[in-house]
Homo-oligomer: A and B are copies of this chain.
Amino acid sequence: MKPNAVRQCAELALKDLRLELRAREVGLVIAPFGAVALLLIPMAVDASTALLRQLGPGMYWVVVLLFGVLVAVRDTAVEAPEQHAVLRLLGVEPAVLQMGRALANFVLVLLFELLLLPVSIALYDPDLTGWPWLLLALPLTAGGLALLGTIANSLARGLTGRSTIGPLMVVPIAVPLLLAAVQSTRAAGLGRAPWPWLLLIAVVDVAALLLLVLTAHHQEETA
């Protein structure tokens, strides 16, 4: 009678996505905010078109990182104490609970990346050589951010200042992701295959995944 873990995970993610659809934090708010950030930087630094073309990919990834983290720790991703109590009493495995949240985060961060992509291309007019590598780099990075954001969310649960202490913990740890993503884009732009960088991102993803699953039990107990 009890549904299997995959089914439960999907149900949990679906719930998060539905909540997000109602609040539209990511689509209507965080993504435009990220776009505005991309727009403001060239204005503030007063850079030439050539310089902008060079800065473009880096800026894109910085904004993805900073605001992608905001996506992962958005308000609707957090349960009230009562809701959390109900989830704990349901008998769903902690690892499944965490994976459900991470899955929803992944979808949203990826969506956010895709929304920002045309904006950054339009604003910075970067060199697009090697763009197919993005098809790998984008989901890998989104996965890492989503997983780290999920961990941060459950560590910051119930603390005052949650919405900001979460990002503070994730952003620095996500730095290797940022650096590797930037380098992979750069390598791809130079016509080289960015395998080492993608591998680095994948390693971070796998490490975060293992940590999430292995510590899930402890994270759910922190009430």
Contact = CB atoms under 8 A, between A and B. Distances in A.
B175 A30 contact: no
A75 B161 contact: yes
What DSSP secondary structure best describes chain A's contact surface?
A: helix
A123 interface: no
A62 B29 CA distance: 18
A61 interface: yes
Contact of A66 (B37, B43, B171, B178): B37
A36 B163 contact: no
Contacts of A175: 40, 43
Given A25-B160, A44-B59, 20 more contacts: A23-B160, A29-B165, A30-B164, A33-B167, A33-B171, A36-B171, A37-B66, A41-B59, A44-B61, A45-B54, A45-B59, A46-B182, A46-B186, A70-B164, A75-B161, A75-B163, A75-B164, A76-B160, A76-B161, A163-B163
26 contacts: A22-B160, A24-B161, A25-B165, A28-B161, A28-B165, A29-B164, A29-B165, A36-B171, A37-B62, A37-B171, A40-B65, A40-B178, A41-B59, A41-B62, A43-B175, A43-B182, A44-B58, A44-B59, A44-B62, A44-B178, A44-B182, A45-B55, A46-B186, A70-B164, A75-B164, A163-B163
Interface of A: 22-25, 28-30, 32-33, 36-37, 40-41, 43-47, 51, 54-55, 58-59, 61-62, 65-66, 70, 74-76, 160-165, 167-168, 171-172, 175, 178-179, 182, 186
